[in-house]
Amino acid sequence: MSNIDITKPIDLSSHADGTGPLRKLRPIYMDLMPPCNSACPAGENIQSWLSFAQAGNYFEAFQALVADNPFPAIMGRVCVKPCETGCNRTHIDKTVNIHSVERYIGDEAIAQKWDIRFTAKSTGKRVLIIGSGPSGLAAAYHLTRLGHTVEIVESGDSAGGLLRTGIPEYRLPKNILDAEINRILGMGVSLRLNHTVTEVLKEKAAGKFDAVYLAVGAQKIRTESIKTTNSIPVTDAFSFFKEITSNPENYTNKKVVILGGGKLALYIARSIKRFGSEATVLFPGDKKLMPAYDYETEDALAEGVEVELLKSISKIEKNEFTIEKMKVEKGKAIGTGEFETINADRLIIAMGQESETDFLRGVEGINLKEDGTIVINADRMTGYAGIFAGGDMLPGENRSATIAIGHGKKASKYIDAFLKGEAFAKPEKPQTAGYRKLHMWYKTDAPQKEQNKLLPAEAIKSFDEVITGLPEKEVRYEAQRCLSCGNCFECDGCYGACPDDAILKLGPGNRYEFIYDKCTGCGVCFEQCPCHAIEMISEPSNTTNNVI
């Protein structure tokens, strides 16, 4: 039904001229793309796993969820929630609290030690993945489900990439991260730690790998040109996270400046507050240019972090920072020539993230940009056959764990096709069921259940998780707030409304069937279908029944 344009209004004014060939329009059952699914960078079938959660069947919800994303407990905590931005309930009251349901399913899977249900026949093909962050782990997971043998190499001493090195425990507890990584490793994925790849082609040949996926995260901070007398310690964001595990006293009862405007800068500032220190975030741009989401900034402000926009560091002498006031012109922050001074004990630079990709510069065909990002083609492949890339290494991408997971999933499909000597044909995406197409004839009042948070004054006393999960009763309630946009949920509306008795009910889970010998094309079923699972189309020459 992909050739049907649901954006054009249906004229039902003069179509009910009789059944069969006398009918101008006929109803058909069809499934459209829910806006939550459409917005998810990881390609989750959100509506599917929500439907299992609605019935309290969290095991099946877990299996439906991990078909696309192996990290429900992680992403239920750290995802930036584009699905909720797209949710049609935002036009009624508030979005379905999708991430809280995902978190509950993920936590339940860890608690119950649920295995991932899959069968895969070994292909005999070997894939090397460089980098164990969300993109590399996701690619390894999906390639294993496709029957390939996967080995991940990681330069650090533990897996997880930026999930481990860039997100503090108050947002993502390490035991949750470890549990979901270990589940992937338990599927047969090999992991080699403390191994830095310097020559990718030699690595590929030595391990007899048939393909390589590059998933090196952006864990390098670009050096800022700040004049300093080296009178105070200056460190980068990732060195900070390493340092606080062994020397937290370096950040205890200090006044610390963090340069940056993304969530990484705010994570650091909120961590510093937990050491009893003052934290000031300086960002050269305005609020519009600031990469962090509003809710991240609001949480930091609530915990006592100072956030100053349009401020850049000009120089540092002793512990005195000379700050230049900035302005924005044509979307860029530029200096005004106006200065002020502040005092601080330390500086942390948390902007200008890049991937370390110099080891690829000698590989013929691989095209690297000045910032180290790598160019790929439509098949997710670099200029060297059999070497693919994704995650933070790609240019022009918003960086988030969800996007990285989506890259890993997409790459696995193209790698699988490459290993089979085939071309992966990307399926056509169905049209999205927007809110204006819904016919909400039933009562929809159902206020969102919000998650509890530690009070800011309590939160900064420890690294305990700030946001709690919802209890099962509220999780199920949230799942039931889903409108099932674009897909029949067997409400019996069409069945009950049809004046011609032209709809046959097929039983629970089997939906309905149109009996066109009885249907007059009146369109009543279309007009009352709350989720837009029915469309009216021009009468075809051959008449057959339509089952949803």
CATH code of the domain containing 80: 1.10.1060.10
| Domain shared by 228 and 349, yes or no | yes
| Domain shared by 464 and 517, yes or no | no
Asked if residue 273 belongs to a domain, the reply is yes
Asked if residue 71 belongs to a domain, the reply is yes
Q: What pLDDT is stored for residue 221 in this prediction? A: 84
| Domain shared by 443 and 525, yes or no | no
Asked if residue 13 belongs to a domain, the reply is no
Q: What pLDDT is stored for residue 492 in this prediction? A: 93
CB-CB neighbours of 262 under 10 Å: 19
| Domain shared by 233 and 315, yes or no | yes
Residue in this structure with the two tokens 């009918």, named with its chain if needed = 23
Task: Give the DSSP H/E element, type plus range, for residue 203.
Answer: helix 200-206
CATH code of the domain containing 491: 3.30.70.20
Q: Tell me the C-alpha distance between 261 and 341, whole Å.
A: 20
| Domain shared by 293 and 349, yes or no | yes
pTM score: 0.91
3-state SS of 53-72 is: HHCCCHHHHHHHHHCCCCCH
Please name the residues in contact with 348: beta carbons below 8 A apart, sequence gap of 6 or more.
234, 235, 236, 237, 240, 256, 257, 258, 259, 268
Q: SS3 of 188, please?
A: coil
| Domain shared by 338 and 372, yes or no | no
What b/e sequence results for 448-463 when a residue is b if at least 16 CB atoms lie within 10 Å of its CB, and e otherwise?
bbeeeebebeebbeeb
Q: Tell me the C-alpha distance between 522 and 27, whole Å.
A: 9
| Domain shared by 264 and 346, yes or no | yes
Asked if residue 174 belongs to a domain, the reply is yes
| Domain shared by 147 and 203, yes or no | yes
Asked if residue 347 belongs to a domain, the reply is yes
Q: What pLDDT is stored for residue 14 in this prediction? A: 47
Asked if residue 405 belongs to a domain, the reply is yes
| Domain shared by 345 and 296, yes or no | yes
At 270, list the tokens: 């909120």
One pLDDT digit (tens) per residue for the chain, 548 residues = 444 555 555 555 545 555 655 788 999 999 999 999 999 999 999 999 999 999 999 999 999 999 999 999 999 999 999 999 999 999 999 999 999 999 999 999 999 999 999 999 999 999 999 999 999 999 999 999 999 999 999 999 999 999 999 999 999 999 999 999 999 999 999 999 999 999 999 999 999 999 999 999 888 887 767 777 778 999 999 999 999 988 889 999 999 999 999 999 999 999 999 999 999 999 999 999 999 999 999 999 999 999 999 999 999 998 999 999 999 999 999 999 999 999 999 999 999 888 888 899 889 999 998 888 999 999 999 999 999 999 999 987 567 899 999 999 999 999 999 999 999 988 888 899 999 989 988 777 899 999 999 999 999 999 999 999 999 999 999 999 999 999 999 999 999 999 999 999 999 989 999 999 999 999 999 999 999 999 999 887 655 556 65
Question: Which residue range is the domain that position 494 belongs to?
Answer: 20-32+487-547
| Domain shared by 139 and 192, yes or no | yes
Q: What pLDDT is stored for residue 24 in this prediction? A: 87
How confident is the prediction for the chain on average, in pLDDT?
Answer: 92
Q: What pLDDT is stored for residue 11 in this prediction? A: 54
Backbone conformation region of residue 237, classed left if phi is above 0, alpha if psi is from -120 to 50, else beta: alpha
Q: What pLDDT is stored for residue 220 in this prediction? A: 83
Asked if residue 5 belongs to a domain, the reply is no
Please name the residues in contact with 186: beta carbons below 8 A apart, sequence gap of 6 or more.
115
| Domain shared by 247 and 308, yes or no | yes
| Domain shared by 242 and 230, yes or no | yes
Asked if residue 11 belongs to a domain, the reply is no
How many separate domains does the chain show?
Answer: 4
CATH code of the domain containing 159: 3.50.50.60
